[in-house]
Copies of this chain bind each other. A is one copy, B any other.
Amino acid sequence: MQPLYQRYKATVRYVGTGFHGFQVQPGQRTVQGELCRALSELFGCPAKVTGCSRTDSGVHANEFVIRIDAERSSVPPEKLPVALAEKLPPDLALISAEECSEDFHPRYGVCGKQYLYRVRNCAVRDPFLYGRVWLFPRRIDDSGLDRMRRAARDFIGKHDFTSFMSSGSDTPDDTVRTVTAFSVEREGEEIRFTVRADGFLYNMVRIMVGTLLEIAQGKIPEDAIGAILAAKDRAKAGMTAPPEGLYLDRVFYPEIPEKR
């Protein structure tokens, strides 16, 4: 293959603990920074990386979609994951790549995302899960779990999520989002929250999870979600769960059928 201008759509996975989020910041180790460096080394020319989302420090990604623009590349997409592996650090991997159309944009083209939030509900920590779950020692019993499940249903639908957006963030033009699925499941010593929406506001998942855990503990009534949404006031919702339990889990585009 002749080295040519080449555009790839690719999926990366990373452990967020060692990164100051996705987006390049001067003097900080970021996912975008590591990708650009590794790709430029591989191609022998500058590469541009566009991400599907910003993620905060310490937040993980099971599947994070990027577009790669290479000035010249003779690497076929299917060879990219293995070719890049030795140039990337161990906490970051490119897990798949394909050709993409000229007009593909990983952020503007998104039609939905799924986040996973992992809580370890156990007094004793597990060294294998350090930085990968939120350690929440106070036991959530089955009735607390049921309260969270019932409350989570009230997030589903089209709402203004201003109450579930960190106040420090730049206010977007539109704070209405549509949540299409929200599940709360216990798996062994973990409670796993999985939420899917057409888009998310800043810290929205972390505030929803923090609020649900306060509902589980009886600090917030289980029927309060509607009133909290209606108030459009961050102060009415619960705490913000810490970043280490949060995973960008899947990203959806109109052209990709949902296979799982």
Contact = CB atoms under 8 A, between A and B. Distances in A.
Nearest to A15: B127
A95 B91 CA distance: 27
9 contacts: A13-B127, A15-B127, A82-B123, A85-B125, A90-B130, A92-B127, A93-B125, A94-B124, A95-B126
A77 to B, nearest CB: 13
Contact of A13 (B90, B96, B123, B128): B128
A74 to B, nearest CB: 20
Number of identical monomers bound together in the oligomeric complex: 2
Interface string A43-84: 000000000000000001000000000000000000001100
A-B interface, 10 closest residue pairs, ranked by CB to CB distance from nearest: A90-B130, A81-B124, A91-B127, A15-B127, A93-B127, A95-B124, A93-B125, A14-B127, A82-B123, A13-B127
Interface in A81-124: 81-82, 85, 90-96, 123-124
Most buried by B among A90, A94, A128, A132: A128
